[in-house]
Amino acid sequence: MVYNIYMIKINIHEAKTHLSKYLDKLGKCGVIILCKRNIPIAEVRPIDMPISTPRPIGLEKGCFNVGSSFFEPLPEDLLEAFSNPQ
């Protein structure tokens, strides 16, 4: 996947004055370089947006098996360790 990344280089005073304008230009693949007296000191990048569609059920179907012993009761010594921690 190729991203078209672009940079906006601005001084802190300009950023304080027009930050919302620059954030609108930032888009998905841009970077704002904040400078102090024309020396870069920080970057502002967009964050990944959370996935809004639910994950489908059964993505790993057939990739592993749960043995029948998984459903058997735990041994007494293990139950005792969980019941009475020391």
Q: DSSP for the chain?
A: -----EEEEEEHHHHHHHHHHHHHHHTTTEEEEEEETTEEEEEE-PPPPPP-SPPPTTTTTTS----GGGGSPPPHHHHHHHHS--
Q: pLDDT of 64-78, one tens digit each? A: 888 888 899 989 888
Domain residue limits at 22: 1-48
pLDDT in tens, 11-35: 999 989 998 888 888 776 688 999 9
Model confidence pTM above 0.75:
no
Say which CATH number the domain at 26 has: 3.40.1620
| 34 domain residue, yes or no | yes
> Is the residue at 6 inside a domain?
yes
